[in-house]
Structure formats: C-alpha cells, structure tokens
C-alpha cells in the first residue's frame, strides 16, 4: 500500500478484503486475455478461429509477458491453495472466460466445443507455465512450438 501511495484505510474504501482485490484483478485479466484471443479468432480465416487462439496463446510474446498474460498460467498454483469460497469466485471468472472463447472452439455441438475448450486450454496453460520456468529461449520456444503443433494436429 505504501508503494502505491495509499493507506490501508484507502485500500479498504475500495475493497473489503485482499480476496476482493484478487477477484477484481482476475476478472480484469481474464477479460483482457479473452478479448485478445477473441480478436485473433475474429481476424482469422473461416474455420480456423480456434487455431488462431492456440497460435496467439502459445506465442513467445505471451510467454515472455507474465504481467499481461493469462492469469491462470501465472497464478494457478496459488489459486489452488485458496479457500472454497475463493475457488467458487475463480470458477465464476473462468466460466465467463470460457463463454467468450467457446464459440471459437472446434466442434459442432456445444458439448464438443466445451470438451475441446478444456483440453486445449489446460494444455496451453501447462505449456506456458513450463516454458516460463525454462532459462533458455530456444528451449522455451521448442515447448511452445511442439505444444502448438500437437494441438493444431489433434482436432
């Protein structure tokens, strides 16, 4: 709070708790990420929207910029330690994110697109998380490229 120039009292005028601040931050991060991915999808050729999402998500730029990337790729281990009430709120944000991305996923039926979303998204989050801990840029790029290629060939 001191670094931001606010007092504890100023913080609590805006947020009732640290958890409320976290959820507000997650909501904003999910919204920004889903809009970037949806924009990539909307600018793609017909029938390739989900491929544009995979390519954008698994890009070196996304991997290298944790501060403006996917919140789950950055925070999943921490969020896993949250209490049940906080996890319910995180699920709410993830549900909004999924709703924004779902129309672009492969599959004719909603159930197929939902399955594809969770498989694709979970794979991408894991790949970004692993790539970010690797010190060598070439190895990071190889993890991203092999995951991207696998997903693009799998659906």
Domain containing 126 — which CATH number? 1.10.357.10
Q: What is the pLDDT along the chain (155 residues), one digit of tens a residue?
A: 566 565 655 555 666 778 888 888 899 999 999 999 999 999 999 889 999 999 999 999 999 998 889 999 999 999 999 999 999 999 999 999 999 999 999 999 999 999 999 999 999 999 999 999 999 999 999 999 999 999 999 98
Residue 110: its pLDDT value, please? 96
Q: Is 119 within a domain?
A: yes
Q: Is 58 within a domain?
A: yes
Please state, as a whole number, how many other Cβ atoms lie within 10 Å of the Cβ of residue 38. Answer: 17
Q: Is 115 within a domain?
A: yes
The number of folded domains in the chain is 1
Q: Is 48 within a domain?
A: yes
Distances 19 to 16, 46, 118 between C-alpha atoms, Å: 8, 41, 26
CA distance 40 to 35: 9
Q: Is 92 within a domain?
A: yes
Helix 49-57 to helix 137-154 angle (10° resolution) is: 160
Helix 71-80 to helix 84-101 angle (10° resolution) is: 160
CB-based contacts of 36: which residues, under 8 Å, 6+ apart?
56
> Could you tell me if 102 and 114 are in contact, meaning their C-beta atoms sit under 8 angstroms apart?
yes
Q: Is 32 within a domain?
A: yes
Q: Is 56 within a domain?
A: yes
User: What residue numbers bound the domain in which 27 lies?
Assistant: 18-154
Residue 74: its pLDDT value, please? 92
């Amino acid at each position: 709070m001191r670094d931001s120039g606010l007092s504890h009292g100023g913080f609590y005028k805006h947020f009732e708790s640290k958890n409320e601040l976290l959820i507000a931050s997650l909501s904003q991060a999910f919204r920004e990420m889903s809009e970037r991915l949806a924009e990539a999808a909307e600018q793609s050729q017909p029938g390739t929207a989900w491929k544009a999402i995979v390519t954008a998500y698994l890009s070196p730029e996304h991997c290298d910029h944790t501060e403006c990337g996917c919140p789950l790729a950055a925070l999943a281990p921490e969020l896993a330690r949250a209490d049940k009430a906080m996890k319910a709120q995180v699920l709410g944000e993830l549900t909004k994110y999924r709703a924004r991305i779902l129309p672009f996923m492969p599959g004719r039926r909603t159930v197929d697109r939902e399955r594809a979303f969770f498989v694709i998204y979970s794979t991408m989050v894991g790949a970004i998380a692993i790539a970010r801990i690797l010190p060598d840029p070439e190895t990071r790029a190889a993890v991203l490229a092999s995951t991207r290629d696998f997903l693009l060939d799998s659906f």
